[in-house]
Amino acid sequence: MKKILIIFALTVVNFLCAAQSHTYLDALQAYQKGEIAQAHTLFVNEIKANPDNDAAHFYLAMIYSANANSHMKAEEEFKKALAIDPNNYWYKYSLALFYAETDRMELTTLLLEELIEAFPKKSELYFTAINAFLSQNDITKALATLDKIEGKMGKTEMIGMTRMDLMSKQGKYTDKELYDYLESYYKECQSPRMATMLGDRYASLYNDSLSLFYYNQAIDIDQGYSPAYYGRAHVFQALRQYERYFEDMGIFMKDPAISPRLKSEYLNKLTESAQFVMAFPEETEQMVLEAYTTHPKDEAITTMAGVFFYRMDKTHYAIELMKQNSENHPDNPEAALQYLMMLYYQKLWDELIPACDRTLERFGYNSDIVQLRGIAYSLREEFDLAIKDFKLIASSAPKDSAIIVFTNSMLGDLYHQKGDSKNAYKHYKKVLKTNPNYAPTLNNYAYYLALEGKSLKKAKAMSEITIKQEPDNPTYLDTYAWILHLLGQNVEAKAIFKHAMLYGGKESAVILDHYGDVLFELKEYDLAFVYWNQAKALDDTLGIEEKIKVKKAEIGR
């Protein structure tokens, strides 16, 4: 409300400036420049010299009204100005707005009714009065005021829409009655907005012919009215007239006046339907590009486009879009993280690490970003740097939290990859102290003990917990079966490996290799060679070809 008061005050500068003193004119100039303290002092001096200067009282009231602590003084000065010039429209109107600002709507409406009677051609009074009546929940008076406006201005879209809103607030009318009123009003006062509302109404009732009739009328009235194209597009979609659907949606997407958030939400929902995108890949991509090129710096639109291109396996475009989004919104950590995640999913470790460095420098410590960098270092086999990052996470993680469990598990894995079993097992023990049933650590701890041929009974007990938790996990099944094999329980191990084969074991060269070893021990030589050959085909770096030669020699083949 303060802004409204100031705007009205400035519109009457010329009116109030006639034959004024130098002090008043200097005060007014300071006020217009925003030098409020100086203006206040000069207006006070002017009133001391000329206590009947109504304009000085008015502007002093404006200054006081901007501060809640001086509202009493503001009211006094407004009243002094009006006492000197009781018929001044701007003084009374500004006081009415001031009463509204200070939650005294009864006084606001009283002044507005006086003003309407004195100045019946001032249209802004009527709409201000309607808002005042609504704030008091006096819809009857609001409607009566609207009747006066319509009597003076005739039918307009604003009046029609305001009346429909007031009727809705009364709670006496059904949706059908409200839209019947709108349809009747539209016959005498046509606008694209009202036509589109009627089109939306009939579309919701599945009346395609009437909805298209009104959408077409809206477009005839205004060729650039995008909401009508949006509504009509959905009717065409329901009618499976997809060429026309995409044509109308293109117009909607290219309209810069339409909220980019609305477009991104619509396109996100649409592109989540793999069936739709597969049926219309080029057309869908065109819609996404139209939205993006219309709002190239909007965060929601750019993110939507990046995700879309990622789903379409156009990862180069997806990464570039996420990078642009991060650069366009340098103060938004979420945009930066989305770009980092895109690099992570594409395993672009050489780009991810420096991007993490820049993001951490910009926003400060973030455990998610440090974790991404640590994983990237580990996959580049830079284990010391990875360990440093995960220790940093551990130092700031709450004790006994899920973060500390995961971090110690990672540190255990990293130390083992580095060849430091002592520190690896130390961190595994920390994990199991906090969460004795944490399957990833139980599995790795058991497997590494098995590789070293140590504490096999302990390893078996840990591994057994993992397969009880996840009985179809081929990695956990492999660990357990391999420990059984090392304990000489090859029949039991074979049964576990057979189960693993049903749940992804055939996709791992290591599991196939282990299964071959168990089968060989059971003297099922032909089957063992089948699985070893499968393992060799998957990964020829495991030395399986040499193993096959040795094993064949053992059995005289």
The answer to whether 347-420 and 469-557 have equal CATH topology is yes
Q: Are 82 and 95 in contact (CB under 8 A)?
A: yes
Going residue by residue through the chain, which has 557 residues, state the pLDDT in tens, using 9 for 90 and above.
Answer: 333 333 344 444 444 445 688 999 999 999 999 999 999 999 999 999 999 999 999 999 999 999 999 999 999 999 999 999 998 988 988 898 898 788 887 888 788 788 888 888 787 777 777 777 777 777 888 787 778 777 777 888 988 888 898 889 888 999 999 999 999 999 999 999 999 999 999 999 999 999 999 999 999 999 999 999 999 999 999 999 999 999 999 999 999 999 999 999 999 999 999 999 999 999 999 999 999 999 999 999 999 999 999 999 999 999 999 999 999 999 999 999 999 999 999 999 999 999 999 999 999 999 999 999 999 999 999 999 999 999 999 998 888 789 999 999 999 999 999 999 999 999 999 999 999 999 999 999 999 999 999 899 999 999 999 999 999 999 999 999 999 999 999 999 999 999 999 999 999 999 999 999 999 999 999 999 999 999 999 999 999 999 999 999 999 87
List of residues 6+ apart from 526 with CB closer than 8 A: none
Top-level CATH class of 469-557?
A: mainly alpha
Instruction: Identify the pLDDT of residue 158.
Output: 86
List C-alpha distances in Å: 21 to 115, 176, 242: 30, 63, 72
pLDDT at 341: 95
Q: Comparing C-alpha atoms, which of 318, 267, 315 is closest to residue 288?
A: 267
Tell me the Ramachandran region of residue 40: left when phi exceeds 0, alpha when psi lies from -120 to 50, beta otherwise.
alpha
Residues 6+ away with beta carbon under 8 Å from 16: 28, 55, 58
Q: Give residue 19's pLDDT.
A: 61
pLDDT of residue 105: 78
Query: What are the phi and psi torsion angles at 329 (to 5°)?
Result: -130, 70
- In the block, residue with structure tokens 């179809």: 472
Q: Calculate ∠ Cα 402-404-410, nearest 5°.
A: 105
The structure's pTM equals: 0.69
Check: CB of residue 197 under 8 Å from CB of residue 225.
Answer: no
529: closest CA among 543, 516, 514?
516
pLDDT reported for residue 287? 97
List of residues 6+ apart from 45 with CB closer than 8 A: 23, 27
Beta strands in 96-241 (DSSP E): none
Query: Would you say 97 and 1 are in contact if contact means Cβ atoms under 8 Å apart?
Result: yes
DSSP string, 242-266: HHHHHHHHHHHHT-TTS-HHHHHHH
Give which of 75, 17, 70, 73 is closest to 46, Cα–Cα: 17
For the chain, the structural domain boundaries read 347-420, 469-557
Predicted local confidence at residue 111, as pLDDT: 84
CATH superfamily, domain at 347-420: Tetratricopeptide repeat domain (1.25.40.10)
Q: How many separate helices (H) and strands (E) can be counted in the chain?
A: 34, 0
